[in-house]
């Protein structure tokens, strides 16, 4: 079963008295909406990139109505400024639905703005990844297939218990690895870490193993099975931290050197 009904939770808090009116739905021209700069945020580079993305891929199935308040001079946006600006910028969206709330004073509007932006749980990259799999996203499915074949599990969230061997939360690093090495190369990297019983498989470990297996100055210097044995033996974190601090290196680059220097002494040896 993949669905369930929403049921009440047993929470250690008393429920609030409901003293405000529920919102009502209205339909407005997005260009008629206004932004009060006294409490609204200005557009950042990230904002512009988001608006650009929405305009280029407008899809009503992804639409969330802006929350607005009706004032003497029109509708003011409380939440959803980016959506409203994207609709205006698109040029082909004559009207959008909005949720109209009651907030007569500027203080009430500012409080509503704070509440909308503070009292929310952001969707994590891991939740987005698993949703993308359910949606049939080709990239997500490839990553999932690579991980499954290597014996790696991409978790949906930070576990309440300890990590198990093969667990990972390194979504963005996995994506970069698959894009760079494709399915076969990415599986080789992850197989080393799965065989090493890493719990969890971290971004630093993925980057370090990728470097040791595929970078021109390390490639062929160590066998995958030897690398798994070295990592499984552990005891390299303190040395790696010391080297990273001494040479001002990212942890994963220092890890490459430490692991390389622990390989069986046959052929190439790191001089760093």
Structural domains in the chain, CATH included, are: 24-118 (3.90.1530.10), 125-261 (no CATH)
73 token code pair? 């001079």
User: Does 138 have pLDDT greater than 70?
Assistant: yes
b/e 157-171 (16+ beta carbons within 10 angstroms → b): eeeeeebebbbbbbb
Using alpha carbons, select from 126, 133, 135 the residue that is nearest to residue 167.
126
* pLDDT tens sequence across 23-46: 999 999 999 999 888 777 778 888
Query: What is the strand order of the sheet 24-28 is part of?
Result: 24-28, 96-101, 67-71, 74-79
Give the mean pLDDT of the chain: 91
Strand ranges, E, within the chain:
24-28, 67-71, 74-79, 96-101, 153-154, 167-168
User: Does 185 have pLDDT greater than 90?
Assistant: yes
Pick the range with the lowest mean pLDDT from 37-41, 64-68, 74-78, 83-87.
Answer: 37-41
Report the C-alpha gap between 236 and 229 in whole angstroms: 13
User: Does 270 have pLDDT greater than 70?
Assistant: no
pLDDT band at 271 (very low <50, low <70, confident <90, very high): very low
Which percentage of the chain shows pLDDT scores above 90? 67
Using alpha carbons, select from 82, 64, 57, 51 the residue that is nearest to residue 25.
64
Contact 143, 174 (CB under 8 A): yes
Pick the range with the lowest mean pLDDT from 29-38, 138-147, 260-269.
Answer: 260-269
DSSP state of 201: B
pLDDT band at 75 (very low <50, low <70, confident <90, very high): very high
Residues 6 or more apart whose Cβ sits within 8 Å of residue 87: 30, 93, 96
This prediction's pTM: 0.72
Report the C-alpha gap between 244 and 50 in whole angstroms: 36
Report the C-alpha gap between 239 and 198 in whole angstroms: 18
Using alpha carbons, select from 205, 243, 239, 209 the residue that is nearest to residue 226.
209
Report the C-alpha gap between 146 and 150 in whole angstroms: 6
């Amino acid at each position: 079963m993949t669905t369930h009904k929403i049921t009440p939770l047993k929470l250690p808090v008393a429920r609030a008295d409901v003293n405000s009116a529920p919102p009502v739905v209205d339909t407005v021209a997005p260009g008629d909406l206004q932004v009060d700069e006294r409490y609204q945020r200005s557009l950042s580079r990230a904002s512009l990139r988001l608006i650009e993305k929405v305009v280029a891929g407008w899809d009503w199935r992804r639409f969330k109505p802006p929350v607005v308040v009706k004032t003497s001079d029109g509708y003011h946006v409380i939440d959803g400024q980016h959506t409203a600006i994207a609709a205006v910028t698109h040029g082909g969206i004559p009207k959008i639905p909005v949720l109209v709330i009651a907030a007569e004073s500027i203080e009430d509007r500012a409080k509503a703005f704070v509440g909308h932006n503070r009292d929310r749980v952001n969707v994590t990259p891991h939740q987005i990844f698993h949703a993308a799999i359910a949606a049939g996203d080709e990239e997500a499915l490839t990553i999932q297939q690579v991980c499954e074949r290597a014996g790696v599990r991409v978790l949906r969230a930070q576990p309440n218990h300890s990590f198990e061997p093969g667990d990972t939360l390194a979504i963005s690093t996995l994506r970069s690895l698959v894009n760079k090495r494709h399915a076969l190369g990415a599986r080789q990297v992850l197989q080393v870490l799965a065989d090493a019983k890493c719990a969890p498989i971290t971004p630093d470990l993925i980057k370090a193993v990728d470097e040791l297996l595929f970078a021109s100055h390390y490639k062929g210097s160590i066998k995958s099975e030897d690398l798994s044995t070295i990592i499984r033996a552990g005891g390299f974190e303190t040395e790696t931290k010391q080297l990273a601090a001494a040479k001002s290196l990212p942890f994963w680059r220092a890890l490459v050197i430490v692991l390389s220097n622990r390989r069986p002494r046959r052929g190439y040896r790191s001089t760093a």
